Amino acid sequence: MLKKVILWTVYILITISCSANHLQNTIDKKSFEKQFFLDKRFYSTIKQKFPNKNEIIILDSKHLITKEPLSFSNRDIKITINNKENSDSDLFVKYYKLNSDLAYAVFWANDNDAICFIVVKNDEKWNVADVILRNIR
* Confidence at 57, pLDDT banded by 50, 70, 90: very high
Question: What are 126's strand-pairing partners?
Answer: 121
Residue 54 pLDDT > 50, yes or no? yes
Measured between alpha carbons, how far is 59 from 13 in angstroms, rounded to an integer?
A: 40
Does the pLDDT value for residue 11 go beyond 50? no
Predicted confidence (pLDDT) per residue in 67-95, tens digit:
888 999 887 889 999 988 766 889 999 99
CA distances to 42, 125, 131 from 118, rounded to whole Å, are 10, 14, 6
